[in-house]
Structure 1
């Protein structure tokens, strides 16, 4: 449909029909959602009419070709102008084929595989009738107490931006109108949702605009630059104003400064939540503020449908604002080709062919393998198939490996750790006992685990958090492994057998009690449908760990937030003077995290040598090149993630000690050497100044190259 036709359609719509396009309701409100074919759900509680439902613009949470086609067919029979529904859903890290959680995907440092995972998720969603996914979440995170860190790719703005682009490319492809295998992406949560005080979900966010622009906004901008079709507002405040009513954030920055003209949707209930936030007296004021801020779709509250009409008729709200929002929604429906094909490629036959296919499982297994991070290894791993293995722990046989936001995944489709190991060893070589539940332990469980382990050569202990303990609403003040599981670990340690601990979790943990008692630690996160197969590949050396952390693991929760790109302070701690009390330090724990950003081990070793910088002077017209030789000094092939960081020694405002600016993943055979080159440009040295001007400063810089943010070799150069 051409733009002129869309404008004519807008003119034909009544005021009520336009307002209803801004409403999003859950599936059960609609005809076609049940066998009875009746509109169901708490219509009375929400105070809406059947006419509102019949004209509603979008549906939340519907999927499955049969259901979505029934809903669309029933809707189009009743809708006066034949405007199709948009079906939206949370497809975060896979539809039916569940990939590792985004924090794990971040640890792969593999942008191509990240993009491929989103492409597969889009394909499975599209054949099931989904048009829009509420992903990617690109919130920068520094506080592991916050449950939703699992949904981010970490603490670094550059890396988050690269992943934002990759996910958008994967979800959307190049041609949403004609390519029915892709769906529209919705970047979230705009903005700074990942910085709540105390790590408590939905809590206040308080930061300077310079910090907002420098650290938190770049990843959203990167997603939009890649063509992301939608933006979701955040629950928190930004400079004292919730985004759903924040005109400066949503109009001045998003719409005017960045030129975004796509659809903005509130998160669940966020428009009405302007009232308890204390910036709207009632639903009517919430509607005014949200629409003026440019929020086009209200998710699951009814401030718009209850009050926008009277506000317009009373002259308190411009109808032009309503028209803008409706047109943006119609344009998205048109871009998705829904006016020509309202069912948009959904197909029961294709569902059977595409969803959870072997090719999709293969990619999920590869990504899970590359997402795991080897944190410790005292020459215990890899195991060999001749060893007798005791597999112990609440996650040994558990299907709870998908993590939060895997709502369409099924535990019965998950390859468990036990299943994965069973494919590597003969039956008599694997002994299994649960040992404990996630939060509790019974004496009988403990004794069974001890007796089982006595007959083994090595203990593989599968510990961690249940999915319920992570994700939205899953904030935790105590981020240690639950006490019941630490008790299990301590008892098994008394057997003096080597212990390999596999961790399943959605956040960096305080690993005291685990690090000391384990001979090897594999951080598996929530690895998804193929998690057990990937872990077995790593345990037995059929794959070599290559993942590296994208979020620091705290030495103690008392350090939180702890992150690599921090400031130096006027009294920095020095390892050369550890007893000096009057510097910025703790007197009872180190300043540094127990595992830093970028850290991860391998079954081989890498040596960095022949560091070289092409010039000690850089200018806008003359970039410089940094090279380093990386040699695989071990006996087997492996992948190394070579990282480049820069520090601006003197700025108008204080600058971080290090900032990741580039990385390369290098595959090396045993004893093979490769030269890795990075180009540094003036553009990479820019930052936001006191007046928010984005520019670089002439002067001295340090550049660091190494395997993680701590173990680096430094060069210096001058920007002129």
Structure 2
């Protein structure tokens, strides 16, 4: 176990840390070096380093002063004590640490590096800042439901503002894996099933984390992960094998990475999975030929947690030495946690198995990144305990968390306009394991946030209503186990209420890494609770907590109103109440399809038609569908309701798209209701006949608009032939003339407005 206790010696050392640095000869030397151009600075250091010190610059480990949540989110490891890790810093055996305990720990460790190590190379401090630091925002898939890349950029910017103040230089985010099998637990971390949405959200998060200047004290280096195709794991099982064609890899799983790198991400993390028999961590084609050669990536690649070590279990490397060699020569610059590079690279270089030029190239990339982050100018630039406190959980951050939360909520169903609820004259029973209590609010992958500082559903509802005494809260059941007397109490509360809010779904431990689920349903005790409460006959609003799409059944699926609320973070309860009581109209749309049955997985809207499609809901024999259900979603990608009455009309589309020209398509979107509305207008295209079979629909653009009651807006999209590109027979991008279907619609499976056009030959 990692020793999180801090000795008196370490505490005393930290008290004068900055003062020692400010008056040290090392500072003057480093400042003189920092004035050199980056190549001269870096090459000068490399020329003075031993092979062991170079291997140290390629070794990243968990912080010995971390503990708590950080140690629970990864497999158990035996690590050094704090004092032993400081000694590793003195001997230049570490390039940095991750998930450390804030600015004070970073200050103490950096002081040792700058005053007691031989070459005074600053450390790099990293952390899993996935969807917030102290202020927590919605999980990635929830925020993607906003269909607002600008929102993702703003929340990432705020996360960087908070986290950088605690000494963090580098975040292991964004995750840009496409998730088309909802059994996969890490669905919650990305942007869902669609390529375009994944590209836009990933690029936005990179811009937010890195800001306009990497040297700024509110900027962090972004890391696009997991490279590549981690979301394509067989059967949605985490860490499992991936076996896909190069075409699918290039068409579906690689584009969000390319978008992240084009947005400026200068680090990448190798994925755990193999692709067609070769683990990503040891895949030269992926890391060298594609990433550096074809794409021209100039940043560095880090393994995932013990990713190089795991090639032994894969059966790809016979021992630690060979695993280090395979990973390094494949193009993975930095080893995380295993210490394989530190332990084996020096001997591999001396034996000639690893060319010294390759070693120097990786060290050069890492040192150049430290320079880009401003660490050679000032190693303590992001380490400031006073700034850390001042930037933590500000009013602006809390307000943004609430905004992001309500924009992430998706209204699946609203029969009879049950929602929004009036703020007075109604008794409300909030029933379910997520009705109240400061638990399961922030969501998975939160290192520094605290559920005890988040707002639960009951509190949010009480904050919104006129009569707080009209609210009754009953747990009803546990998350995965029944509660003695719980259903009887819930039924009694429902009978006494005018409306029921049924707060059910997944807890934090059911989504995230290593949390693949074979049955993506509401757990049985909660389903039994729903069935019992439904028999009372009172109007019921299901408030789902989830990190993935779920297959809804029985009383849950039949409830008159259903809200998908994901894990919303710090302002969970207030954000949900904003939607429940109509302070804001719901604007979220599904970034992943909700299936009719768990057995449909993987299901995604952009599937191929097959040679025997079954269009429509009527099931035909010998067609592509499961027994008893159509090959469609219960609630498809892009679906979501608002409080207005939205009407699509007036499609306008030219019959031809010239090869070198543009095509403008438009439609009139109106709000016929009496309440303000938000609509995500979506443009889909299908290539009717091509040299490679194409999906039934592909999202090409979308626009989110706000409409007052009675207001209309003409929404226009412009297409060029580049929007019709696909990966051809030689695995190269190609565009072919021909006939295309086009839809402007409210979801991927809604008819909306349908038209056709022809791309003419050049």
TM tier, smaller: over 0.9
Q: What CA RMSD, in Å, does the superposition of the two structures yield over aligned residues? A: 1.6
Q: What is the CA deviation profile of residues 278-312 of structure 1, one whole-angstrom value per residue up to 9, with x for unaligned ones? A: 11111111111111111111000022112111111
Which residue of structure 1 lines up, in the alignment, with residue 3 of structure 2? none
1:477-516 matched pairs, under 5 angstroms: 477-516=518-557
C-alpha distance in 1 between matches for 2:674 and 2:610 = 43
CA drift of 1:580 comes to 3.2
Q: Distance in 2 between matches of 1:232 and 1:131?
A: 16
1:408 equivalent in alignment to 2:445: no
Structure 1 equivalent of residue 364 of structure 2: 327
Q: Secondary structure at the match of 2:274?
A: coil
What are the Cα deviations for residues 150-206 of structure 1, in whole angstroms up to 9, with x where unaligned?
0010111111001111000000011112x2111100000000000111111000011
Report if aligned partners of 2:134, 2:392 keep a CA contact under 8 Å in 1. yes
Tell me which residue corresponds to 1:604. Answer: 644
Output the TM-score relative to the length of structure 1: 0.96
CA displacement 1:541-571 (0-9 Å, x = unmatched): 1111110001000100111111110101111
Relative distance call for 1:483 and 1:661 in structure 2 (3 A) is same
From 754, 759, 762, the counterpart of 1:714: 754
Aligned to 1:35: none
Q: Of 141, 144, 161, which residue of structure 1 is paired with 2:179? A: 141
Check if 1:526 corresponds to 2:567.
Answer: yes
Partner of 1:361: 398
Checking the alignment, whether the CA contact within 8 Å between 2:89 and 2:113 is kept in structure 1 is no
Runs of 4+ that moved beyond 4 A: 47-53
Match of 1:67 in 2: 105
* 2:655 maps to 1:616: yes
In the alignment, is the contact (CA less than 8 A) between 2:530 and 2:556 conserved in 1?
no
Report the Cα distance in structure 1 between the residues aligned to 2:202 and 2:133, rounded to whole angstroms: 18
Q: 2:740 aligns with which of 695, 701, 715?
A: 701
1:637 aligns with 2:676: yes
- Equivalent residue number for residue 99 of structure 1: 137
| Distance of 1:630 and 1:516 partners within structure 2 | 29
Measure the CA separation in 2 of the matches of 1:519 and 1:454.
17
Q: Deviations over 1:483-537 (max 9, x none)?
A: 1111111111121111111000101011112444412110000011101000011
- Equivalent positions of 1:442-461 (< 5 A) are 442-461=483-502
- Would the aligned equivalents of 1:661 and 1:684 in 2 still touch at CA under 8 Å? yes
Give TM-score scaled by structure 2 length. Answer: 0.91
Cα distance, 1:619 vs structure 2: 2.2
State the alpha-carbon separation in 2 of the partners of residues 601 and 29 from structure 1: 47
Match runs of 1:52-451 below 5 Å: 54-55=91-92, 56-177=94-215, 179-378=216-415, 379-385=417-423, 386-399=425-438, 400-425=440-465, 426-451=467-492
The answer (yes or no) to whether the contact 1:29–1:53 under 8 Å persists in 2 is no
Query: In the alignment, what sits opposite 1:37?
Result: none
Residues of 1 paired with 2:490 and 2:736: CA distance? Answer: 61
- Structure 1 residues 53 and 300, CA gap change in structure 2 (3 angstroms): farther
* 3-state DSSP of counterpart to 1:108: coil
Question: Contact 1:29/1:43 (CA < 8 Å) preserved in 2?
Answer: no
In the TM superposition, residue 49 of structure 1 has moved relative to its aligned partner by: 11
Q: 1: CA distance between counterparts of 2:210 and 2:343?
A: 34
Q: 1:97 to 1:108 in 2, by over 3 A?
A: same
Q: Does residue 684 of structure 1 match 2:743?
A: no
Do the aligned partners of 2:99 and 2:447 also contact (CA within 8 Å) in 1? no
Distance 2:625 2:476 in 1: 39
Equivalent in 42, 46, 71 of residue 6 of structure 1:
42
TM-fit CA distance, 1:652: 0.7
CA distance in 2, matches of 1:271, 1:423: 50
The 8 Å contact of residues 605 and 634 in structure 1, kept in 2 or not, is answered as: yes
Q: CA deviation at 1:52?
A: 7.0
3-state SS of paired residue (1:608): strand
2:59 pairs, out of 1, 8, 23, with 23
Query: 1:348: Cα distance to partner?
Result: 1.9
Q: Distance in 1 between matches of 2:619 and 2:538?
A: 38
1:49-77 CA-partner distances (Å, limit 9, x unpaired): 94577411010111411121111112322
For residues 65 and 277 of structure 2, what CA distance do their matches in structure 1 show? Answer: 35
